[in-house]
Amino acid sequence: MSYFQLISKTALILCVLVMVFSCSNESKKFIPDVSHIKVDSEVHRFDKAFFGLNPLDLDGEINKLSEKYPALSEIYFNQIMVLDNNPTLNTEMMGQMLQDTFIQNLNVRIQNIFPSFETLKEDFNETFQYLKYYFPERDIPDLYTLFTEFGFHTFIFSDENGKDAIGISLELFLGENFPYENYVGNDPAFSSYMKRAFNKDHLIKKSMDVLISDIMPPASQNNLLDAMIYNGKQLYLLDKLMPHAADTVKFEYSLPQWTWVNENEHGIYSHLVHEELLYESDQFKYSKLVKPSPHSPGMPPEAPGKTANFIGFKIVESFMKRNPELNLQDLIAINDSQEIFSKARYKPRYQ
């Protein structure tokens, strides 16, 4: 029997009554006042500086750029944009790339969509206010916009002063309708279900993803429960740092997908339990439940990928509600997913 079938009319009425009672007694999500916290992240348009390099004197131009941005230039020119092991040939190939009409047109598109970063900077600063509220010891990262030839969405690094900084590849936020296939071919990383998040709306979210990964130490993931609780903790932190962002952005779901997972929370969890997947250790059997994929196997066609992460978030959310004395640092420090799962006493919702 499918766990996603409609429940009986009697059961539905009972569940509605329970939901109404529960909702009337459930406190709203706490969003702290951060208006008094002063932050000012600086934006560096490294992409404009890169495309402004003179191909006829590339060695000299790169040296000048390296003097201005020593930490990022070391990463950018020696790791990201390395096209060949031969430094001389590498410089020549980079010069050819800068003169390539295809790449030049791409840069025009980038600059048309991101002529200024001021509005995004304001949104970043709001997010960084929440970062400073919950993690007062953390640096407020500076932002470096760049072009990585479709290599990275975002990444975190230390600048020349040892301060946190975030690199953002603007060519990967040009919108899901941008013809990426003209540049990358049939790379599965640019499938339609992935490209849906390649836009401005997801730029800050993906930047915070790498910051949260830096805040949260890696944890052993021996089974599905470990993976979904770890990912659920990351989503919980993201929700705290971006409380006003749309849930569709934070979970990278379309609106119909977000509606579906909410309406089928009980069915998703029942499927994981009854198919004995929670303690499954074979990643091949559960990877699409926690990693980007077009669909969650074993569920109806409407089910998106990463449904176990959604349940992981709900479990973590329940755990924190039942343990209000804990803060985010306490949550991060708990590496035992079974402890969180047991103490959460999670009860999936009917819709």
Paired tokens of 104: 């030049």
Looking at the predicted structure, is the pLDDT value of residue 16 above 90?
no
Residues 108 and 179 in one domain: yes
Residue 5's pLDDT is what? 55
**Is 217 in contact with 170 (CB distance < 8 Å)?**
no
- Split at pLDDT 50, 70, 90, the class of 13 is very low
- Beta-carbon contacts of 331 under 8 Å, excluding residues fewer than 6 positions away, are 233, 236, 316, 319, 320
**Structurally, how many domains does the chain consist of?**
2
- Quote the CA–CA distance of 78 and 145 in Å, as a whole number: 17
- Split at pLDDT 50, 70, 90, the class of 18 is very low
Residue 2's pLDDT is what? 62
* Mean pLDDT across the chain: 90
Instruction: Write the CA distances from 312 to 84, 187, 286, integer angstroms.
Output: 42, 29, 14
Residues 187-242: pLDDT tens digits? 999 999 999 999 999 999 999 999 999 999 888 899 999 999 999 999 999 999 99
Q: What is the mean pLDDT of residues 289-293?
A: 95
Residue 94's pLDDT is what? 85
Neighbours of 310 (CB within 10 A): 27
- Quote the CA–CA distance of 55 and 94 in Å, as a whole number: 8
Residues 153 and 47 in one domain: yes
Residue 56's pLDDT is what? 87
Residue 326 counted as domain residue: yes
Residues 288 and 174 in one domain: no
- Beta-carbon contacts of 246 under 8 Å, excluding residues fewer than 6 positions away, are 201
Residue 8 counted as domain residue: no
Residues 335 and 209 in one domain: no
Residues 226-284: pLDDT tens digits? 999 999 999 999 999 999 999 999 999 999 999 999 999 999 999 999 999 999 999 99
Residues 52 and 159 in one domain: yes
Q: Which of 215, 236, 256 is the last residue of a domain?
A: 215
- Quote the CA–CA distance of 108 and 87 in Å, as a whole number: 28
Q: Which of 195, 215, 235 is the last residue of a domain?
A: 215
Residue 22's pLDDT is what? 38
Neighbours of 102 (CB within 10 A): 9
Looking at the predicted structure, is the pLDDT value of residue 290 above 80?
yes
Range of the domain at 222: 218-344
Residues 60 and 209 in one domain: yes
Residues 77-88: pLDDT tens digits? 888 987 666 777
Residues 299 and 179 in one domain: no
Q: What is the pTM of this model?
A: 0.90
Looking at the predicted structure, is the pLDDT value of residue 15 above 80?
no
Name the DSSP class of 77. I
Residue 255 counted as domain residue: yes
Residues 268 and 133 in one domain: no
Bridge pairing between strands 43-45 and 164-169: unpaired
Residue 14 counted as domain residue: no
Looking at the predicted structure, is the pLDDT value of residue 295 above 80?
yes
Q: Which of 215, 236, 265 is the last residue of a domain?
A: 215
Paired tokens of 35: 């208006």
Residues 228 and 208 in one domain: no
Residue 84's pLDDT is what? 65
Looking at the predicted structure, is the pLDDT value of residue 26 above 50?
no
Q: What is the mean pLDDT of residues 6-14?
A: 39
Residues 309 and 208 in one domain: no
- Split at pLDDT 50, 70, 90, the class of 12 is very low
Looking at the predicted structure, is the pLDDT value of residue 25 above 50?
no
Q: In this structure, which amino acid lies at residue 117? A: F
Which candidate, 328, 324, 334, 331, places its Cα nearest to that of 138? Answer: 328
- Beta-carbon contacts of 3 under 8 Å, excluding residues fewer than 6 positions away, are 266, 267, 270, 271, 274
Which candidate, 325, 320, 274, places its Cα nearest to that of 299? Answer: 274
Residues 193 and 316 in one domain: no
Residue 67's pLDDT is what? 96
- Beta-carbon contacts of 296 under 8 Å, excluding residues fewer than 6 positions away, are 268, 288, 289, 303, 304, 305, 306, 307, 308
**Is 158 in contact with 164 (CB distance < 8 Å)?**
yes
- Quote the CA–CA distance of 65 and 49 in Å, as a whole number: 8
